[in-house]
Amino acid sequence: MLISEINPYQALASEELDILIDEDLFGGVGGASCPSYSTDDSLVHKIRRKLQKVYGSQVTLGRTRIKSKPYFSRYGTDPSTSTEVLAETKSLSICRMALLLIQRNED
């Protein structure tokens, strides 16, 4: 599946998502040694730092009051232009944000 075919607001935690992030954000080769970015909360800050470095804007992580999607990731600091994604876990929220930013910058 092409990265442009995945809805970043609804992407599921999966090995496929992990491989896309590894290849497109970290320049990895994917495969069996690919980290579990979408399920391992210990990798969240590694992704956040990389996104901030590559895309040059602050990425904020936090909690919502929505029971079904209690985590968010936000790109940017201006309330009128920032972008936010919601997710069931912290690691999935940062992966959805990574996917969104990768897609936006493919064009």
pLDDT per position as a tens digit, 84-107: 999 999 999 999 999 999 998 876
pLDDT per position as a tens digit, 24-56: 999 988 677 899 999 999 999 999 999 999 999
Is 71's pLDDT higher than 90?
yes
Name the DSSP class of 106: T
- CB-based contacts of 59, cutoff 8 Å, min separation 6: 48, 51, 52, 73, 74, 75, 94, 97
pLDDT score, position 1: 61
CA 76/CA 96 separation, integer angstroms: 15
Is 12's pLDDT higher than 70?
yes
